[in-house]
Structures are given as C-alpha cells and as structure tokens.
Structure 1
Amino acid sequence: MAKKPFLIGITGGSGSGKTTVSKALITRLADNNPILLQQDVYYKDQSEKPMEERMKTNYDHPDSIETDLFVSDLKKLIRHQSIDTPVYDYAEHTRSKETTHVEPGDVIIVDGVLLFNDERVRDLMDLKVYVDTDDDIRFIRRLQRDTHERGRTVEGVIEQYTATVKPMHNQFVEPTKRYADIIVPEGGGNYVAIDMLMNQAIAMVKKED
C-alpha cells in the first residue's frame, strides 16, 4: 500500500509571498514528486448571478470558497487519486467552464489566504506555515497583481482593499497564525527563513520515508 502523501499548508495575507514560498518548496522537493494546489481556484461558481452582483463578491470571506469540494479533492489526492480542479475567471467573477487535471504526488503543497480557517483542512496538514508580511508591502503587491493580471483598476483595487481585504484579513487571516508550526516573517524575500523552512520540510519528508 502506497504511503500517505506529505501535506504542507502555506497561508498568509493577500500579497504576503505565499506563492513564492510554495514554488521554492516545489523546487527544493523536486525529488519527492511534489504538486501545488491553490485554494483560490475553489472560489464558488457565480454564473447564475448577474455581473453587477458578482462584482460585489467578498473574496476574502471564508464563504467565498467551496470548502466541501476543496476538502474532498484534498482527500482524493491523499488516497493517490487524480482530481480535476476548477479554474476561476477573475475578469468574469465566476468559474471558467475549463478544469485542470491534477495527478497525485508524494508531497502536496497547498496555499491559500483562508487555508487554516476550516478545521477539516488544518487536520489534513502535516506542516502548517504562515507567511507574515507588512500590510503596506502586501497592499502594493496586490495592487500590482490585480491591475496587471486581473484587469482591475487602481481605484477598484483600493476600494476593495479598504472595504473587505483589510478587515477580512484582521478577522479571518491574522488569527490563524496561531495554528502555524512555522512563521516566515517578511514573506518571500526572507531567504534565511525560507531556507530554514526548506530544511525542516525536507527532514520531515525524509522521516516519513
């Protein structure tokens, strides 16, 4: 019987550097057949709603995620079963009709802003990491990403940040820091902390072997 995959959960505020840390881990754990699963592809389908209503979606609230499907897919990967994840269209504020096929791996790296909010998800993780980055840095990164990659205006990003992102971070993201096994301060640019995380993750994966 195949051994259980090793699950690493990486969370932190929007723009904290989660994906940078995740991709660094993928590279360092390349010999262990790692895969990356991102929570934000599990935003709920809103195709039945008019665009005006979709644009008001609070993406930083746990209710925006289809957590039941997310947990179900994680459990399938743990059982060494492949999955077809949703694809989210940020310009249309709903799911695309496409899906992404994901084969199981020996190491599963999962990242997401709201990753540690649900106990079911936390309980599946073997190593939980919180990427802690200054609010100003996170806002600048989000502004650059949303205007360049997601078709948002500067005014729209600022309005969304002040109305929902910051208050939701304080309510739902920051408090989950207490569940972390490792905290990476200053995000993806803290190479010393990331290197220490890599070494710990590699040691834990080898121990599982």
Structure 2
Amino acid sequence: MTTPSFAIGIAGGTGAGKTTLAREMAAGRAEAVTLVPIDNYYDDLGHLPFEERADANYDHPSAFEWELLRDHLETLLGGDPVEMPQYDFTEHRRTDETVHVEPTDVIVVEGIFALYDEEIIDTLDLCVYVEADADVRILRRIERDVVERGRDIEDVIEQYRATVKPMHERYVEPTKKNADIVVPEGANGVAVDLLAEKVRAESVRELGVER
C-alpha cells in the first residue's frame, strides 16, 4: 500500500478557482493524487425539514463536520482508505452513499475552509490560497449552483448576499495569512504548472526514481 507523504491545502473564496486548480494540477497524474473536497463534509442535516436545511448558513465554519474530516485526513495520510461522504446540494443533505477513497502519494484538501482549522493546517505540507475578483467569483458561483447543482438563481443570489459575502469577509479571507503561496487571478497557468510540477516531483520521489 502506498503511504502518502505530501499534503496540500487549497483554500479561497467561493468561485475563486480552487477546484479548477486542484483538478488541473492533478491532470495526467490522477493515480498519484487524492482529492478531499471539504464540501463533502457538510454536517448531515437530513433530520431537519427542507425549509430549515435551505435556510442554514453553509458558509460558516460550524456548517462542517470537522472531526470526521480530520479523522479521514489522518487516515489517508497514514496510508489507509476511507469511505468519503457525499453531499446532495439540491436537497441540502448528505446522501446515504459513500465513495471508497484510497490514499496516494499526494493528498489535496480543497475548499473555502481548507486553511481554517489549526489541526488540519498542521498536517499540510503546502498551504495555497486562491484569489479572484469578487465579481468573477459571484458569476462563477451562480453558474455552478444553477447549472451544476440545479438550484434556483434567485435563491443563489439571496444566499450570496445574506451569508456567502459576509462569511467570506469574516472567516475565509483571513485564512490567507496561513498560506505559503497566494495565487492571484484564480487558477492561472503559472500556478497550475508550478503545483503540477510539485505533484510530479512528490509522486516520482515516492517511487524512488531519480529525476
């Protein structure tokens, strides 16, 4: 079994390009990278009526099941697989199914609060914060939630005004201070190339191959 030796955290505001950066830097080396989206670890609110679930503040740190995320990250970094929860963003609840995830050479923790929790930060070898203009981020958020997640556009805009923007300013943006690297303009080509090279270097090192 492969024991991963390198963990990367990629944080930033909603729509900043975190997921794109994570996916593009892993392109061509998917077998060497395990992605851990923090969005999969939203608390399970399935016991609440839909209206209450829809009104919950999903952009506050308390919306996540941190203990489970920490446990899964520790397990993956220890070389063992986990059963990763899955989340239904239309119903605002965790699904009954999980996905079996095997550890690899590089573990990438991605999400708005990837650099928020001190215990998780302590396990990361590289901390990255992705920046993008607020107008760009809201447009990407609308496109993602409406097109990919099937949500109503009015609800998305109202949520942005009520919780996304203020929570970003209060909780997410301050985590930039924890970053080793700040990436401007979203998932730009230079950042993708640099991180892809780091992934390649770590996976090659794990194989014991001299470059």
> Quick one: which amino acid aligns to residue 9 of structure 2?
G
SS in structure 1 at match of 2:34? strand
Partner of 1:9: 9
Unaligned 5+ segments in structure 1 are none
1:105-131 deviation digits (Å, cap 9, x = unpaired): 111111011111110110110011111
Partner of 1:172: 171
- TM-score in terms of structure 2 length: 0.91
1:49-79 deviation digits (Å, cap 9, x = unpaired): 1111111111110000000000000000011
Partner of 1:113: 112
> Quick one: which amino acid aligns to residue 135 of structure 1?
A
- TM-score in terms of structure 1 length: 0.92
Aligned length: 207
Is the contact made by 1:26 and 1:36 (CA closer than 8 Å) also made in structure 2? no
For 1:85 and 1:2, locate their aligned partners in 2 and report how far apart those are by CA, in whole Å.
18
Superposition RMSD in Å: 1.8
Is the contact made by 2:6 and 2:125 (CA closer than 8 Å) also made in structure 1? yes
For 2:95 and 2:198, locate their aligned partners in 1 and report how far apart those are by CA, in whole Å.
37
Query: How far did 1:194 drift?
Result: 2.3
The within-5 A match list for 1:99-178 is 99-178=98-177
Query: How far did 1:20 drift?
Result: 0.9
Is the contact made by 2:40 and 2:86 (CA closer than 8 Å) also made in structure 1? yes
Partner of 1:192: 190
For 1:60 and 1:179, locate their aligned partners in 2 and report how far apart those are by CA, in whole Å.
19
SS in structure 2 at match of 1:8? strand
> Quick one: which amino acid aligns to residue 57 of structure 2?
N
The range that moved more, 140-149 or 190-199, is 190-199
> Quick one: which amino acid aligns to residue 136 of structure 1?
D
The range that moved more, 144-153 or 69-78, is 144-153
Query: How far did 1:203 drift?
Result: 4.5
Identity of aligned residues (%): 48
